[in-house]
Each structure stands twice: as C-alpha cells, then as structure tokens.
Amino acid sequence: MKVNLGVGAYRTEEGKPLVLNVVRRAEQMLVNDSSRVKEYLPITGLADFNKMSAKLIFGNDSPAIQEKRVTTVQCLSGTGSLRVGAEFLARHYQQRTIYIPQPTWGNHPKVFALSGLFVKTYRYYDPATRGLNFQGLVEDLSSAPSGAVVLLHACAHNPTGVDPTVEQWEQIRQLMRSKALLPFFDSAYQGFASGNLDADAQPVRLFAADGGELLAAQSYAKNMGLYGERVGALSIVCKTADVAAKVESQLKLVIRPMYSSPPIHGASIVATILKDSEMYNEWTIELKAMADRIISMRHQLFEALRERGTPGDWTHIVKQIGMFTFTGLNTEQVAFMTKEYHIYMTSDGRISMAGLSSKTVPLLADAIHAAVT
Ligand code: PMP
C-alpha cells in the first residue's frame, strides 16, 4: 500500500477528493437559473462576493467595513490575491521590503520577489521545541526597518502547523504598530484549522480593530474545497474611506494588464452560499467535519505512537494546527519511510494530516517508529 501525505488538499477517510454538498447545491441553483449569462465581471470581480468575503474575514459588524475603509477585490485564489497585493505594494508603498516567516509556504518568496519586493525572513520555528521561536520573531521584527511589510499566516501556519497564542498575537500587534510595520495576512485556512470561521479569523480581527492599515489575502480553496475554481479575495484596510477609494482605483490598474477580470463561476458559488443563511450554516457544518477529521487523525497518530512506545516527545502532533504536521523527521528518516514503507511526504518531514485515514495511521506509526529507532 502507498500512502501519499505530500498533497496539500483535503481527502476523505476513503482517500478521495471531496466536493461539499452545499457547493453542489449552489452549482445546481446557478445552472437552473436561466437568467444567468456569461458576461465579463468588472475588473474587481463580483460585488456581492467581495462584500461577503470582507465580512467573512473581518466579521459581520466590522467597524472598518462600516466606515468604508476596506477595499476588496476578487482574485485568483490565495496565490492571485497575494500577487495582486504584492504588485500594488511594489508600485505604491514606500517601503518595499517584505519579511516572511522562516520557514514558510514555498511560493511566498517567489510571488513577492517577482512582484518587485525585497524578501527577507524573520525567525519563526524552533526545531528544538517544534513550536514557535517567539523570542527570535520579536527580535527580528524589532530590528526590521520602520514601515516594512510583514507576511503573517492568519492561522494554521504552512508548513509548521505552529501558530502564536492570542497573547502572543497581541504582543506582535503592539510591536508591529509601534514600528509602523505593515501586516499582510495570508488567510488560506479560515475555518479549516479549528473548525470555526470566527476563531480562525481572530488574529486578523485583532489587527483590524486597532484602526490601522493591513492587507489580507483570502483563499476558498481549502475551506470551501474550491481548489481548481481559483477563487479568493484581496482586502486592503485603509485609514480613511477616501484612501480606500484611491487604493481601489490603483488595484484596477494592477489587475487590468494582468488578466483583465477574474472568472465568474467560483465567485458565484461562494456568493450564493455566503448570502443564504441556511446554505451558510450547511457550509459551516461541512467545514467543521473536515477540520474535525483532521484533528482526529492527529489524536489517532499520537495514540498509535504511544502504544508502540516510540522514543521521543510526539505531543507536537496534537498541538500543531491545520492541515500539516511538521514531524521533526529528518531527510534520511523521510527517505527511509518512503523506501521501506511507501509513505510519501515532503523532505522537510511535513505530512498532510488530511491525507491520512484510520486505515493508514497504523502503517505511518510503524514507519515513524522504525525510522527513529
Ligand atoms: N498560502 C498558503 C499558506 C497556502 O498553503 C496556500 C495553498 N497551498 C496558498 C496560500 C494559496 O493557495 P491557492 O492559491 O490555491 O488558494
């Protein structure tokens, strides 16, 4: 049996991709609506989608939204949202250095560098504790030049699964605001980490609540299972409504020569679900089921290692958050598991918990046990 734990997409207990029932229903409604046509969307995308996406991340009664200080544009999933945000910053923001966590999602440095930003890193992960290197993070952000951009994973940090606590987020916020560092949140897993959309958006809302500026890139790939539909949004929170309007005109100038306007289908699915309270509720239930299955895989794997008496501290498996576990296994151990047990994962020892099932947990535990003993 082969087990592929390298993929960054959700799989069911049977190892199959999942299309949410609420997504199927929304698509059916769209197909049945004969008034729908295939005209171009505006450059900024579907208005309802943008409005609902901002509410989803900033909260229903966000003062920034009410004060019209937020501009939101529909983009091509999380990657496209990061790219449009980065292109905008490279052209219009005075401090063109962006700090990204070490390590981070492999595409981050490429997206930002090709947009024309200077990429630097801040310490994030501590291999010794398999947790957050909070002191290193604080030191690095403290010595960053005033005004620099800082990329923050909103929740479920990829690849480490390590997130700051609420208290640490508050300290990061105070530090960043005191140095006028600009937060750029990458929110690729809202709801997918804890199973609760509001809880996972807490760090972003903490920063938005202080009235300062920030950028947020949202993806519906994971939390709505819309991977290939490429649906996401970029929001920029400004200090005044007047600035937000100007930012929107500039965003149009960034988007127009890249792809003119975004695709209509995925955004229509999302807007249909977010606008209808009954469909929204069904979505939250299906989303929680995905998150719960992943959390249950963490517990099963942890228990299986305990039963085997596998040497070492494996508590990080249940402490880490989101789709991935950063196992702490080294390149040789990973290669051994692939050769002897046909278990595939990235060479940095990251495994996708979403690719595991009750059937494959014992095999993985056997492989880890053999690799470390
Ligand atoms: N950011 C992070 C941290 C991710 O893990 C991913 C998906 N792997 C993305 C952004 C973007 O994904 P997509 O473009 O498919 O929304």
Does ligand 1 have an atom closer than 6 angstroms to the CB of 352?
no
Report the pLDDT averaged over residues 200-213.
Answer: 98
Contacts of 254 (CB under 8 A, 6+ apart): 84, 87, 88, 91
Does ligand 1 have an atom closer than 6 angstroms to the CB of 266?
no
Ligand 1 centroid – CA 72 distance (Å)? 18
pLDDT in tens, 149-206: 999 999 999 999 999 999 999 999 999 999 999 999 999 999 999 999 999 999 999 9
Catalytic residue among 140, 163, 186, 366: 186
Report the pLDDT averaged over residues 77-100.
Answer: 98
Ligand 1 centroid – CA 66 distance (Å)? 29
Report the pLDDT averaged over residues 267-274.
Answer: 98
Ligand 1 centroid – CA 230 distance (Å)? 10
pLDDT of residue 97: 98
Tell me if residue 246 is catalytic. no
pLDDT of residue 1: 83
ipTM: 0.99
Catalytic residue among 105, 140, 163, 366: 105
Residue 7 has pLDDT above 90, yes or no: no
Does ligand 1 have an atom closer than 6 angstroms to the CB of 105?
yes
Q: Whose CA is nearest to atom 11 of ligand 1?
A: 78
Tell me how crowded residue 39 is: count the other CB atoms within 10 A of its CB.
Answer: 6
Contact 282, 289 (CB under 8 A): no
Q: Whose CA is nearest to atom 8 of ligand 1?
A: 8
Tell me if residue 275 is catalytic. no
Residue 115 has pLDDT above 90, yes or no: yes
Confidence of residue 247 (pLDDT cuts 50, 70, 90): very high
Confidence of residue 14 (pLDDT cuts 50, 70, 90): very high
Atom of ligand 1 nearest to the CA of 104: 3
Catalytic residue among 200, 222, 314, 366: 222
Calculate what percentage of the chain has a pLDDT beyond 70: 100
Report the pLDDT averaged over residues 141-150.
Answer: 98
Ligand 1 centroid – CA 80 distance (Å)? 9
Tell me if residue 283 is catalytic. no
pLDDT in tens, 276-292: 999 999 999 999 999 99
Q: Whose CA is nearest to atom 1 of ligand 1?
A: 188
Residue 45 has pLDDT above 90, yes or no: yes
Calculate what percentage of the chain has a pLDDT beyond 90: 99
Report the pLDDT averaged over residues 319-343.
Answer: 95
Confidence of residue 128 (pLDDT cuts 50, 70, 90): very high
Atom of ligand 1 nearest to the CA of 158: 3
